[in-house]
Structure 1
């Protein structure tokens, strides 16, 4: 049995190509005919692939395997290519979804990664159904309806709009825009979209990103921040808003930001709901559950990855969420839902259940909660839970227990609790930098600017009384002493002291408040865990610069943020903890 992921699509945006993807499954379509008569023979490279696919089309087969549709990445020798351009065509969707440069470069096929994206999109919108038992795909009734519409017709638009209103993440975006009095950036949307606080659903703080964009020293840096730096949920938000714009439900806006020197720069795009979009989301939500537009949800929509990228953990989480949705159909109190889940072999406490409910809401389901009372306001269709028991890894269970403990003892947003995982994952160093900076801004109430880039610290944190040079380190086993990173921090400290434009042309220190006294600057390393050798790094940094600072483990970073939010810790007292050791705030 194959277990794939659907429901979350990052790159496909062309509805014409989506329609062609759907038509691959329709023997009555023009695309199917073109594949059968010309394309397979002319574009598929290996004879074995050509013969197999040609036979299927000659026999009007309309149900295909994942391999037939998406193919693999192979070169002419049948090996993995060193460059993407060396890959050959070996699947139906690769030769259906043509790159924009097809006519100019003569390459009439795409890569398997793009093919997979369009297949996911077609499944997510219920144009193509998936049989996980056999790993087969076929067209749905809605897909047939789309396939048979005239290109560019009002009927085609109506089918696409109708499908989008059954897709929970799209209705989530529309609902957020409908409630907002002003256009929203992808960050404002992404912050409230998807399974927040999990790998695969990261969102960056909007104010932090705008300030980082404003601080860019060069146009190249500005363009990179604007185009390439975003969390995964921010990217989903951008893609979905783009789809909705093409369907006339959303309008895009260009932005300008004014700098302190009077110059203006191009800012992040924003989105607002149109009158047609507002009417559509109101109609989809209906006056009662019986009149609402059904929400199409597959089990495969309900998670992307586990902490250790364990498929067992991922599929356990999918099943837990699917069982919650099913349970909400006939259980209308938290206590009754917990009992139902327990009878189904899913043990949760109220804290974990409330966390999952919030995530299902940000996924796009309308769930109303009032104390112990809870109501699913949507009619959910499509869920088919595998008859199989999934066992999470022990590491993932430990991680969930730790995070659930912090849910109980703090009032922190879920996306910051996820730092307990991010801080130990070196692949997510950018997430660690940006989300840590966001925590200082949102929860500590300090000014915080993410810098990053060459010859700059990860960020600066400050108010008018003190400033902190921030460096984050994500290490799986914990962070010890690294001589080159002592050198880096000492250089940043001296840069800030001397403020010599010739020594450091990017002048990153200008991001600090001008009123901070010269003797009130500190250094700070943040990591998941510090090893005993790290104390020597702190001593050497102090000895070489005369500056004070410290190290802050993520557990203390979170507890300190919660204490500040609750009024139990005065943020202006942070400098009193800077004694060149590992800091204990709480």
Structure 2
């Protein structure tokens, strides 16, 4: 057995995140991805702790420790790229998504094929949803499907690799199949990085039933596998992909082998952030707006970067002189703490200490800490805040579901109280806002009206006769004007709930001082939520 003491020592204690996410090679079996997801603690896990857990799992399964650290890093990237976790930058680790939690609870198949466990139908459905949050997966699926529809037939991993990833990035090498043959190498032994990404993604797509084997190609006397899509992928790309929110860690936007990794990542992230703000934007506006952030960029670089972002699977269209970001995205960037932020962060940590101590015994400490930490963190942790708000409403006793991730234009959370008395049941349509002081911009007010129209009908169909809306944030300004406008235009009342008040409510529910069956009217005021 190889000496692994040095590798083990490196993964002691708390560790940092990897330098690249979003692109995966060699964790091609989704049953292995599930095995890894099951290792992630319910309340999240530091990177090093997960690495150690993977090593322990390998030992328990009788697997070799040769190159285990490389395999473990690939697995960490895979659970992120399949939508089962998101990065927790505060704790340098991973947090389960709702899909990840659903996967852990889903039944496993007993069928073994070629030494690997096949997926159950339930697992397949969950992975179908998860992998579509990863733009490179969508890119590969679209390439294979377009080739089929255009009559060009099946594609090899080298064909796909040629059109996948970033041009000019030495972390995205590619070989032609003819070059592999000319080099007297086998197709299993010689691949560029992009070809490896393609092979792994194709394997995932085969396991969820969207891609099948095509006829083998004869390449100068050597047989090379090819792949194509099933016809039902047309609908997947036309409808499901468009409604799925794409998760984009900034590390996805350039490889860590590029000589200017940080610069390129920041520049491409800035392009996405600008295009997110408006339906269309001129190239000249993109250049000037990004330049104001202190990032050097010109029109040629904009064109180049957008070509690369498109090859990574991000849907950006050019219409005359305008660019349009079609995808709904979550751009996950590192948390940068400026010097003048240090004092504020320290105050947040003190508040967490105070609240966790105060609510000890009545509310789980992880919920308390996460509501405060993610609530103050703005867009860096918006999804994590939504997930924590959902968890809090479940803790209060509601039947609650987080919809904000990959479900299209919907509310963040829907919480329901069901009573055996039909008339007492009610639902809450929740928009969770990770802001220190949320001021109800017009676009968000409009969205809430749309959410009420959509989910109100769904709640009625679900035998929930009454519903209200609620905004949850750290604090609010100008809330009554916004709340009254929404109520006037929808005929549905609502409220704004601070995290502090939500925690007080949790304490009262735990202490049986109040029952959620009796507090519908507390949400129905068009004012800030108060404890009666």
**How far off is 1:95 after superposition?**
2.1
**Take 2:321 and 2:170, find their aligned partners in 1: how far apart are those partners?**
29
Pick from 210, 223, 237: which aligns with 1:281? Answer: 237
- Aligned partners of 2:20 and 2:256 also within 8 Å: no
Distance 1:316 1:258, change over 3 A: closer
In the alignment, does 2:89 pair up with 1:132?
yes
Aligned partner of 2:141 in structure 1 is 174
**Offset of 1:276 from its aligned partner?**
3.2
Instruction: Name the counterpart of 1:65.
Output: 46
8 A Cα contact 1:94 1:110, kept in partner: no
Tell me the equivalent position of 2:253. 302
CA contact under 8 A between 1:19 and 1:147: conserved in structure 2?
A: yes
- SS of match in other structure, 2:301: helix
CA apart distance, 1:199 = 1.1
Deviation at 1:268, TM superposition (A): 1.7
Equivalent residue for 2:169?
Answer: 198
Q: What does 1:281-360 correspond to in 2, within 5 Å?
A: 281-286=237-242, 292-308=243-259, 313-329=260-276, 330=278, 332-360=281-309
Q: Structure 1-normalised TM-score?
A: 0.49
Is the contact between residue 322 and residue 385 of structure 1 (CA under 8 Å) also seen in structure 2? no
Query: Would the aligned equivalents of 2:161 and 2:197 in 1 still touch at CA under 8 Å?
Result: yes
Q: Which residue number in structure 1 is paired with residue 72 of structure 2?
A: 115
Runs of 4+ in 1 over 6 A off after TM superposition: none
CA-CA distance at 1:107 after TM superposition: 5.1
Distance in 2 (CA, whole Å) between partners of 1:3 and 1:258 is 37
Q: Distance in 2 between matches of 1:13 and 1:296?
A: 20
Rounded to whole Å, the distance in 1 between the matches of 2:65 and 2:106 is 25
State which structure, 1 or 2, has the greater radius of gyration over its C-alpha atoms: 1
Shift of 1:342: 1.0
Task: Give 1:139-538 correspondences, 5 Å limit.
Answer: 139-152=96-109, 153-180=120-147, 181=151, 182-206=153-177, 208-209=178-179, 213=181, 221=184, 224-257=185-218, 265-286=221-242, 292-308=243-259, 313-329=260-276, 330=278, 332-387=281-336
Structure 1 residues 385 and 335: CA distance shift in structure 2, 3 A? farther
Report deviation, 1:335.
0.9
Residue in 1 aligned with 2:387?
none
Coordinate RMSD, CA, aligned: 2.5
Which whole-Å CA distance do the structure 2 matches of 1:364 and 1:258 have between them? 28
Contact 1:184-1:271 at 8 Å conserved across structures = yes
Residue 102 of structure 2 contacts residue 126 of structure 2 at CA under 8 Å; is this kept in 1? yes
CA contact (8 A) 1:175 1:281 kept: yes
What residue ranges of structure 2 are gaps of 5+ in the alignment? 1-15, 110-119, 339-532
CA contact (8 A) 1:194 1:363 kept: yes
Shift of residue 138 of structure 1?
A: 2.5
Q: Deviations over 1:317-346 (max 9, x none)?
A: 212111111111125111111111111221
How far apart are the structure 1 equivalents of 2:302 and 2:241?
A: 24
Q: What stretches of structure 1 of length at least 5 have no aligned partner?
A: 28-61, 71-90, 260-264, 287-291, 390-586
Alpha carbons of 1:179 and 1:328: their partners in 2 closer, same or farther (altered >3 Å)? Answer: same
User: In 2, are the aligned partners of 1:251 and 1:273 still within 8 Å (CA)?
Assistant: yes
Structure-2-length-normalised TM-score? 0.54
CA apart distance, 1:243? 1.0
Per the alignment, do residues 268 and 281 of structure 1 end up closer, same or farther by CA in structure 2, a change over 3 Å counting? same
Question: Using a 3 Å threshold, how does the CA distance of structure 1 residues 126 and 97 change in structure 2: closer, same or farther?
Answer: farther
Look up the SS of the partner of 2:106 in the other structure.
coil
Q: Deviations over 1:363-415 (max 9, x none)?
A: 001111134211111111243354379xxxxxxxxxxxxxxxxxxxxxxxxxx
Deviations along 1:204-230, one digit per CA (max 9) or x if unpaired, are 235x33xx62x57xxxx4xx3322122
Q: What corresponds to 1:435 in structure 2? A: none
